Amino acid sequence: MLPRLRTRAVQTAPVMALVTAALAVGACLDATPGSSAASSPPAVAATPRADTTLRGPADAPRVASYRLTASLDAVEHRVTARGTIRWLNASRVPAEELYLHLYLNAFSSERTLFLRSPSYRSRSGATLRTPGGLTVQRLSSPSHGGVDLWEDAAPHSPGDPEDTTDIRVPLPAPVPPGETLELEVEFTAQLPSIVERTGFAGSFHMVGQWFPKLARREPDGRWAHFAFHPHAEFYADFGDYDVTLEVPAGFVVGATGQRIEQRVTGERRTERYRAEAVHDFAWAAWDGFEVEERTVGATKITLLAPPHTAPARAATWESLEHALPYLGALYGPYPHPTLTVVHPPSFAAGAGGMEYPTLITTGGSSRWPPLGVRLIEQVTVHELAHQWFQGMLASNEAASPFLDEGLTSYAEWRALRALFGAGSLIDLWGLQVSLEAAGRVAAVGHGQDEIIASPAHAFPSMRSLAAHVYSGTATALSTIAGVYGQARLDAALSDYATTHRFAHPVPDDLLASVARHVGPGAASALRGMLFERATVDYRVAELTSAPQGEDGGWRSRAVIARGGTLQLPVTVRLELIDGQRIDRRWSGVEPVFVVEQEHEAPLARVVVDPEQAVLWDRDLLNNSRSLERQSTLRSSERAWYWAELLLHLLGP
Amino acid sequence: MTGHPTLLPSTARTTFRAWLGCSLLLWAARLPLAWAASRPLALVVGVGDGDDRLLFEPGALFLLEVLRLRVDLLARAIAPTLLLLIGSWVLLLAVTSSILAWLARIQGAPAPRLPSLRQRAQRVAVLAGGAGAATVALGAVTATLLGATATAVQDVTEPTRDVLLLGVLGASLLPFATLGALFDLARIHVLASGDDALGALRHAWATFTARLGRLVVARAAIAAASLAVVAGAGAFVATQPVTSPETGPLVVVVIVHRAAGLLLAALQVAWFVVLVRSARAPQA
């Protein structure tokens, strides 16, 4: 999910950028011809393994499969459902209990773990106007004599009497490894007013986290269960979902999976969806949706959007048509036949910016796309990239959120840079702001206080999590790509994404792929950034240059210092006044690097990391030093003109 | 000091010459003031080793880094900039008042025995203070209205909300424009007729209501032309390779921007001419 906090920050980014550009008085009316982003999208460097060897949905383990029938009361905002859950004990240990997540209970009162956390307000900005919750009427198993297992279920989450999102259900008899348990379930999901991801606003219904969902059991028999925290998302096993939905006849439905049946009977519409090898099921229903469909490659995409949102739809389609094949080329083809994209109406914006298998919700105002502020594109590509790092890889989002959100953010940066170049976040009146530049500010400015690879609940705030997990991971990976080569990192991430498809990878799997394809130095550096709060700051400490006698030559000496523990190789560049450049490579291992160079023309400047490969550098402003006074004529002229305009506008 | 404005023949040629001269005067007054006001921020840009790439680098990596690490310098630069802008406003008040007085003279405005220059200046200052206070009040009302509208229309579709907010914003421009016109008309009455501040406001209101159609059309046309000048200059400058180390593109940009500034000054003087003629008409 793109955190609401971040979305809001991004929404203010254009204003901030404009204000700051006006303060710095400058560049807004300038654009360098040919610098426009989309002019030369980089080629995809990595080629994932051939499709025939990729794990596909058919190869995925079916551990938790659901067959549900649900009916929406659109007036009471209530879903009544019943069905069957088939659970395979895929661990090596007999199961004597189950853990069921009732995520919707996070919105049952202000005292739940989710809502009592200060982070929830900073994340969504919304408040709970109408509570909701999940009530299980019955949970039984034919193999256990049909007794109601729910009667013995724990009344609340472990150790938290105010929270009921993580419920232990003891079993009358253990389920041996390799055996399947079939459960009959009846439940009612009362949808809350939209706070985060799920709920209703008017007649719009975003129905996520709406059914009792089995926690994932690790191979060693530990249940990966947790109460629903506002920082965390989900973790579940793969399975097949067969869900029949009944809604008012005038409603349009979008859901996980492929629609295989639909009919209208009287005042009710019934639609049946089937999704294979997924780990969640969400759906949206609204009588205001307009539907657009396109096919991209082998994928049929359905876009559900409010009326009168043509610019938003165009931006969404542009993003999808670019990013789906682009990310497929990088990380392996998208394996499902369908993708549903829901653009919630503005009054239900809290439902936007969320990922579910084969269904994503986007967001962002329709006002911005024509102006070159890429909010909709950013949200769309981010949620789409989750189809790989959350949908297919399904790592533990509570324990290691960086594996999902961090890699997703990096993929988002990659895809949008390919589409829009340096203006991947803002390209407005000649001012180009890239996602890398904006993300780096959060990552370096705020993002080295905590360990990036921490569990979600360990971060002190959503702002901190966003800076570390989202921006920090993406900045760290961008640095690895810049220092060791984009193609090698692409190969590593491709290896990670394809090897662990449908396999719940852990952080060591990522580091192993990086070590294999980029090298042990890169893996060590990445480990330092993700796990050890490692930092680096390159700095020009000394610079001297003097003529050498009568022959006209010059001799220069630069001392470059490295602060922090991270040892990354960089280029040190001497720029002469005649335009000549002399590059020296420094391993970055020693704390100080001394460059002594003889040259014919006088020295103008020395720059560390001129290609800006090390985005992780804590201070970019001390990376260069000049012997000649730098020209600021252009900036001064622009400042002068803007002041003139201001006097014209506000003067008497 | 008292004065008896000389009645000058109001011919098209005289008006054109006056317009041209006043435009040059206003432009020449703005140039050094704008340059001075921009210096504090321009100097911050020049701090360190960033040079011009700071503002012209695609991706804005260094711009954001400066904002992150040098925000204190920027903040310190804003205070003198604001002070200089306020000082510039006061100086431009004198310049534009002189222009209005001159235009009124050549338009053959009635020439009573005028109060001293000092008295007229005091009255203009009172009017300016009143206009400033009214502007602040209007700004507060507009912000409140916008906020209230945004809150009240949360449950409507985005296009409807856009239209409502734009409607409120557009409507809020009308009081500002009215206030500006009243202030300028009142200044004309103080400067050319010797009214006191209150009398000048009454006359200004009478003029404004009597010549409303003409004033609205002229204001709209001049605003549109000003926008076109700024947009045109921006579009042209955008085609220039500003990151080129050669000075040619920079010279072109300087010329285009200065020409745009001159045109904007000329458009403002044209507005003054309309006001002066309107002020004269109802009293004739």
* Secondary structure class of A415 (helix, strand, coil): helix
Q: In chain A, what residues touch B64 (CB-CB under 8 Å)?
A: 433, 437-438, 440-441
Contact A308 B158 (CB under 8 A): yes
Q: Characterize the bridge pairing of strands A581-586 and A570-576.
A: antiparallel
What CATH number matches the domain at A1-58+295-533, 1.10.390.10, 3.90.25.10, 2.30.110.10, 3.30.1280.10? 1.10.390.10
The predicted-structure confidence for B5-57, as pLDDT tens digits, reads as follows 444 455 777 788 889 999 999 999 999 999 999 888 887 776 666 566 677 78
Contact B158 A306 (CB under 8 A): yes
Q: CA angle at residue A526 from A522 to A531, to 5 degrees? A: 150
Which residue bears the tokens 């204190």? B72
Write the secondary structure of chain B as one string of H (helix), E (strand) and C (coil).
Answer: CCECCCCCCCCHHHHHHHHHHHHHHHHHHHHHHHHHHHHHHHHHHHCCCCCCHHHHCCECHHHHHHHHHCHHHHHHHHHHHHHHHHHHHHHHHHHHHHHHHHHHHHCCCCCCCECCHHHHHHHHHHHHHHHHHHHHHHHHHHHHHHHHHHHHCCCCCHHHHHHHHHHHHHHHHHHHHHHHHHHHHHHHHHHHHCCCHHHHHHHHHHHHHHCHHHHHHHHHHHHHHHHHHHHHHHHHHHCCCCCCCCCHHHHHHHHHHHHHHHHHHHHHHHHHHHHHHHHHHHHC
A483, A487, A505, A492: which is closest to A611 by C-alpha?
Answer: A483
Give the one of B34, B41, B66 whose C-beta lies nearest to A644's C-beta: B34
The predicted-structure confidence for A133-183, as pLDDT tens digits, reads as follows 999 999 999 988 889 999 999 999 999 999 999 999 999 999 999 999 999
Residue A21 to chain B, least CA–CA distance (Å): 8
Burial B107-145 (b: 16+ CB within 10 A, else e): bbbebeebbeeeebbebbebbbebbeebbeeeeeebeee
Burial B196-223 (b: 16+ CB within 10 A, else e): bbeebbebbeebbeebeeebeebbeebe
The answer to whether position B7 is within a domain reads no
Mean pLDDT for the stretch of residues A445-451: 80
Contact B230 A636 (CB under 8 A): no
A30: pLDDT confidence band, cut at 50, 70 and 90?
A: very low
Query: Quick one: pLDDT at residue A109?
Result: 92
Q: In chain B, what residues touch A25 (CB-CB under 8 Å)?
A: 38, 41-42, 45
The predicted-structure confidence for A560-580, as pLDDT tens digits, reads as follows 999 999 999 999 999 998 889
Query: Quick one: pLDDT at residue A641?
Result: 93
Distance in angstroms (rounded) separating the CA atoms of residues A648 and B233: 15
Distance in angstroms (rounded) separating the CA atoms of residues A122 and A124: 6
Tell whether the torsion through CA atoms of A220, A223, A229 and A232 is positive or negative: positive
**Searching chain A, which residue's CA lies closest to the CA of residue B128?**
A652
The predicted-structure confidence for A280-317, as pLDDT tens digits, reads as follows 999 999 999 999 999 999 999 999 999 888 889 999 99
Least confident of B108-112, B118-122, B202-206: B108-112
Answer whether A17's CB lies under 8 Å from A10's CB. no
Contact B42 A635 (CB under 8 A): yes
Q: In chain B, what residues touch A635 (CB-CB under 8 Å)?
A: 42, 45-46, 52, 54-55
The predicted-structure confidence for A88-102, as pLDDT tens digits, reads as follows 999 999 999 999 999
* Secondary structure class of A331 (helix, strand, coil): helix
Range of the domain at B37: 12-283
Average pLDDT, chain A: 89
pLDDT over 60 at A189, yes or no: yes
Distance in angstroms (rounded) separating the CA atoms of residues A106 and A119: 14
Distance in angstroms (rounded) separating the CA atoms of residues A147 and A170: 12
pLDDT over 90 at B275, yes or no: yes
Q: In chain A, what residues touch B88 (CB-CB under 8 Å)?
A: 647, 651
Query: Quick one: pLDDT at residue B58?
Result: 84
Question: In the CATH scheme, what architecture does the domain A61-288 have?
Answer: Sandwich (2.60)
How many beta-carbon pairs below 8 A join chains A and B? 224
B246 in contact with A at a CB cutoff of 8 Å? no
Based on the structure, what is the number of domains in chain B?
1
Query: Quick one: pLDDT at residue B49?
Result: 67
Question: Can you give the residue ranges of every domain in chain A?
Answer: 1-58+295-533, 61-288, 547-633
Query: Quick one: pLDDT at residue B111?
Result: 60
The answer to whether position B3 is within a domain reads no
Distance in angstroms (rounded) separating the CA atoms of residues A165 and B157: 33
What is the value of pTM for the model shown?
0.86
Contact B37 A643 (CB under 8 A): yes
pLDDT over 90 at B221, yes or no: yes
Percent share of chain B, pLDDT over 70: 86
* Secondary structure class of A247 (helix, strand, coil): strand
Mean pLDDT for the stretch of residues A455-460: 94
Write down the ipTM of this complex: 0.90
pLDDT over 50 at A37, yes or no: no
Q: Choose, out of B61, B252, B272, the residue to mutate when testing the contact with A (most A CBs < 10 Å).
A: B61
B155: pLDDT confidence band, cut at 50, 70 and 90?
A: low
